[in-house]
Chain A
Amino acid sequence: MKNLLRYIIARTLLTIPMLFILLTIVFAVIRIMPGDPVSAMLGGHAPEKVIEQKKEELGLNKPLIVQYGNYLWQVAHLDLGTSMIFKQKVTSAITDKLPATIELTIFGMLVTLLVGVPLGAYAADNRRSGKDYLIRLFGIVIYCIPVYWLGLMFQMIFGVWLDWFPVAGRTGARVFVSTFEQTGLYIIDTLLINDWAALWDVLMHLVLPSLTLGLVLSGIFIRLTRANMLDVLKSDYILAAEARGIRHFPVVYKHGLLNAFVPILTMMGLQVSLLMAGAVLTESTFSWPGMGRLLLERIYLRDYPTIQGVIVIFALIVAFMSLIVDIIYALIDPRVRY
């Protein structure tokens, strides 16, 4: 237990330099790059005086090093500044949109696991057979399909032609979000007030976006599961279990898969960044009002504090998720702690 605690503390401390570097990169990209946010926002014809005034208001006339210090100070206090366009705190814009992205990524991940892990295990069990090659081919092809395009195709087939699922947004016109919104996670919100019709509507809106996001990422999980299962299936305890006459199916899919799952879990931590990138693109295709849409909308408006804030949040999520996965890994596998 002592070892575990020591590991968790050490791992948490390791996150700090990583976060610091990521925050510095975000600052560098947004502030040091050519182009002046204020004149870009006010248009090229604003008088010099107005520009100067706006710069002072935003603290952009100070030396870069002071701006950098202020920025780190703000982030440390979880204050991401105020939007340049709207009189709105960046943090409140983000807390509005974050639940939508969380809901989408959780369901996307669910699809990925439900498709990727069984297919990968099945391919490993039938190694070098036609089924194995077919599954691996599916994995490679699905990995090469751009997530936004798969989304467009689904919209066209299941939305426009077959008219099975809605193609945009989180809710339909007949559902009033204000009647149930509390946490922003609509599934939980609708369950809290027992509004089954609204829950159904929310779920229907989730189908195509999470299928799109999940399927594209499943290719990687097919490969990972297959590779890990191949190693596990070669091990002695699998042979021993088979020799004792346990049926093939539980040996492979219960004992085998459980043991292959630890490395898969660690890889999940690495996939968080792919999941985030995929979510940004999926949101754009499905008009999903999440973080990705917020980022792009504010890029078009050249609202620099919000752009910076959203990217900072993405950095925090990535650092936090890799920390969590490593801790879970240490909990499951005692060898990691030493």
Chain B
Amino acid sequence: MKHSPTAAMGRVIGGFTGMGRKYGAEWWILIMGALIIGGIILMALLAPLIAPYDPHDQEAGPQLQPPGREHLLGTDNLQRDVLSRIIFGARTILWVAILAAIISSVVGITLGMFSGYSGGAFDKTLSLIMDSVYAFPGLILAIAFAAMLEPGIMSITIAVAVIYIPTYFRLVRGQTLTIKEELYVESAQAIGAPNLVILGKYIFPNVIATTAVVFTMNVGDAIMIEAALTYLGLGLPPSIVDWGMDLAMGKKYLPSGQWWLITFPGVMISTLALGFTMLGEGLAEILNPRLLER
């Protein structure tokens, strides 16, 4: 009986509530966030199976039909099914936001570690550059990049990625400065370990834990920046299904009362960003209660 599915289920639920008792509301915030993200990722992966229509199909139904039985979320001005566009749009935003966060974390962590470890003029210059970029409004920088690059998935990803590099750089550099003084790093240096080995083996594992929290929050932020760029008509060609672009298109029908065109893409952007923010908040509280001041 010990290995029956129900018992396993019971243990899982027991474990969950146990964690809930230990960490309180933070644990439930984390679970909620994870469920939201999991649900939307699942929707994106299964898009071709669950979407009732092709998101590009311009004969899916009558023009500007309100939500109803035929089209659960209505149709747009080009007779496309809004629900199908919502489902496929998840793919674009998730791909761009997660890829952008990966790029900026890899670049930011690498530069931060090298800068903090090597010190000197290189560190000073790089820190000054990163601090200046950090102070500048990220969205405006991303707008400039997106405006200069040819519209496409890679362009918008780069435009979003660039603005988060300083976030990782500052965090990781600061931690590297502290870890560098630790006894185990000094002893590794004393026995003649090469710098790359020290960075990879002793410093990297110590900085990676806190960046996990920042990464999650970063994806949440990147989602809003991606949607903002495409809402402004930048970064993506019209052939790609995207929530931000659908929102911009629906805006034209706001005065005439076609509420469903602007409501659903916005709800999805907010929900997805909320999922990542909640996951990040929960992780931060549980992994390191002092990371976010309470």
Contact = CB atoms under 8 A, between A and B. Distances in A.
Interface string B129-141: 1011101111111
A149 B144 contact: no
A296 B232 contact: yes
Nearest to B225: A277
Nearest to A143: B277
B283 to A, nearest CB: 14
B227 A146 contact: yes
B247 interface: yes
Nearest to A168: B255
Given A152-B254, A160-B254, A30 B144 contact: yes
Nearest to B130: A21
A300 B293 CA distance: 42
A299 interface: yes
Contacts of B294: 226-227, 230
B259 A156 contact: yes
A80 interface: no
Interface stretch (A108-116, A186-194, A206-214, A314-322): A314-322
B156 to A, nearest CB: 14
A66 interface: no
Contacts of A153: 262-263, 266
Nearest to B132: A21
Contact of A160 (B128, B129, B255): B255
A281 B228 contact: yes
A156 B145 contact: no
Given A21-B132, A149-B270, A318-B136, A35 B232 contact: no
Given A277-B138, A318-B136, 12 more contacts: A35-B149, A35-B150, A144-B274, A146-B224, A146-B228, A156-B259, A156-B263, A227-B293, A277-B137, A318-B137, A319-B135, A322-B135
29 contacts: A18-B132, A25-B133, A29-B145, A29-B148, A33-B148, A35-B148, A140-B274, A140-B278, A143-B277, A144-B224, A144-B273, A146-B266, A148-B231, A149-B266, A153-B262, A155-B254, A156-B259, A160-B257, A276-B137, A277-B140, A280-B139, A280-B140, A284-B231, A295-B140, A295-B143, A307-B147, A314-B137, A315-B136, A322-B135
Interface of A: 17-18, 21-22, 25-26, 29-30, 33-35, 133, 140-141, 143-146, 148-149, 152-153, 155-156, 160, 167, 226-227, 230, 270, 273-274, 276-277, 280-281, 284-285, 295-296, 299-300, 307, 311, 314-315, 318-319, 322
Interface of B: 25, 128-129, 131-133, 135-141, 143-145, 147-150, 220, 224, 227-228, 231-234, 247, 251, 254-255, 257, 259, 262-263, 266, 269-270, 273-274, 277-278, 281, 293-294
